[in-house]
Structure 1
Amino acid sequence: MLILYTILCLLLGYLLGSIPFALIIGKIFYHTDIRNHGSGNLGGTNAGRVLGKKAGIAVIVCDVLKVVLAVGIASLISPAAATWTGFMCCIGHCYPIFAHFHGGKAVSTVFGFLLGTSIFVFKDTFYFLVPFLMFFIVLYLFKFVSLASICGIVCGTLFITATLWSMNVQNILVIIACWLMAILVIYRHLKNIRAIQNGEERKITWM
């Protein structure tokens, strides 16, 4: 039964992650399909640029909370199930079944993953605060959301690896999920990395 419940949680995580809040909010409140504007991504950054600050914040909050919910439900099974469910939620966000597998870049969902795991898995706010602080330091210094996102998740993954490292199977499964998360974020931002190298990446102006 444990395996069955875990599989159901992974499926639930993917389906929750697949809810395209940027698309929903854009169409319902702004009569705009943001896939046809800006970068075309269904994420908070593009929603903010296309629809405005309020819409961007709303999308970010919803994308964070859907991962926290998924992790919270799966934490009733085991820490490993919760972590992998959070990862599947981020996969769903990037490749949503409800939006023809064209989603966001997992920035908000990654922080939802870190917040959810810090609450339900690690029960220690430092697992969220450390990468969150790194994100804002890099964002303040360089003004690139993409670079700050990559540095934040890598920092969080290194922190998790350093504090959990042992031959315990549960810990190893959690660490693997976190590294896959970091790889996913880097992969989703390859175009941004090339844009930074070419001096073409857009910088934020509010910080």
Structure 2
Amino acid sequence: MQIIKLFLAVVVGYVIGSIPWALIIGKVFYKTDIRQHGSGNLGGTNAGRVLGKKAGIAVILLDVLKAFLVVFFFSKVSVDAAVLCGLSVCVGHCFPIFADFKGGKAVATTFGYLLAISLFITHEFAFMFLVPISIFLATLAITKYVSFASIIGISSSIFTSFYIQKNILISYSLLIIAIFVIYRHKDNVVRILKGNEKKITWLK
């Protein structure tokens, strides 16, 4: 029975993670396929750059929410199910079955995962969510690079997790996600090193 629950957590997490909100909002409200514009990425940053501030914020919030809700649901099943679901949401977001397996970079979904586990599993909201999101926002404010801020903010969650809570599965899940996020941003890192990475402007 436990194996079935874990399998369902993976499947549901992946399917929900695959919902491409950036693509949906772009096509429904702006008659625009953002995969054909900007970076082509199905994430909040590109949505904001192509469609405007309101669309960008909406996409970010919806991507956070899709991770938050399914992880919250499976936290009622078991910690293992919630963690596997969280990992699957991030994979689904990056490789969505509903958008030819070309999606975003799992930043907003990771913060949705962090929010859910901080509230419903570890009960360490300050360290498990506020610290990483604050580091992300501070880095973004200073550098204006969403990619760099994402890597720093999400990577910081590994250290806070190992330090503040005892569930090793959660800590290692964050390590896996951080490595995944860094890999998804490898081209951004190269552009930053070359000095031609675009800075975010639409949040002003």
2:185 aligns with one of 164, 183, 189:
189
Distance in 2, Cα, partners of 1:175 & 1:152: 15
- Distance (Å, rounded) in 2 between the aligned partners of 1:40 and 1:16: 21
**Quick check: 74-83 or 124-133, which moved more?**
74-83
CA distance in structure 1 between the partners assigned to 2:198 and 2:39 by the alignment = 11
Give the alignment's TM-score, normalised by structure 2: 0.95
**Which deviates more from structure 2 when the two are superposed, residues 130-139 or residues 74-83?**
74-83
Q: Contact conserved, 1:65 with 1:112, CA < 8 A, in 2?
A: yes
Give runs of ≥4 in structure 1 deviating > 4 Å.
Answer: none
Shift of 1:172: 2.2
Unaligned stretches of 5+ residues in structure 2: none
**Preserved CA contact (<8 Å) 2:6 2:84:** no
Contact 1:135 1:148 in 2 (8 A): yes
Of the three residues 176, 180, 201, the one matched with 1:180 is 176
Aligned-pair CA distance for 1:32: 0.5
- What secondary structure, in the 3-state scheme, does the structure 1 residue paired with 2:38 have? coil
1:143-192 alpha-carbon deviations (Å, 9 max, x no partner) = 11100000001101111012235xxxxx2222221111101110000000
Q: Which amino acid aligns with 1:120?
A: F
- Are 2:152 and 1:151 aligned? yes
- Partner amino acid, structure 2, of 1:137: A
Give the letter for the 2:188 counterpart: N
Residue 120 of structure 2 is matched in structure 1 by 120
Q: Secondary structure at the match of 1:42?
A: coil
Q: Which amino acid aligns with 1:142?
A: T
Q: In the alignment, which residue of structure 2 is the partner of 1:3?
A: 3
Rounded to whole Å, the distance in 2 between the matches of 1:147 and 1:50 is 20
RMSD of equivalent CA atoms: 1.1
Instruction: Give me the identity figure in percent.
Output: 53
For the residue of structure 2 that corresponds to 1:151, the secondary structure is helix
CA shift, 1:124, in A, is 2.2
Match of 1:199 in 2: 195
Q: Could you tell me the TM-score, scaled by structure 1's length?
A: 0.94
Distance 1:161 1:84 in 2: 18
Distance 1:120 1:22 in 2: 28
Task: State how far apart, in whole Å, the 2-side matches of 1:120 and 1:203 are.
Answer: 35
Q: Aligned partners of 1:164, 1:124: CA distance in 2, in Å?
A: 8
Per the TM alignment, residue 12 of structure 1 is displaced from its structure 2 partner at its CA by 0.3
Q: 2:20 touches 2:93 (CA, 8 Å); kept in 1?
A: yes
Number of the residue aligned with 2:62: 62
Q: How many residues are treated as equivalent by the alignment?
A: 202
Partner of 1:41 in structure 2?
Answer: 41
Matches within 5 A, 1:90-109: 90-109=90-109
Letter in 2 for 1:25: I
Q: Please state how far the C-alpha of 1:65 moved relative to its aligned partner.
A: 0.3
Q: Give the distance between the partners of 2:175 and 2:21, measured in 1 at CA.
A: 26
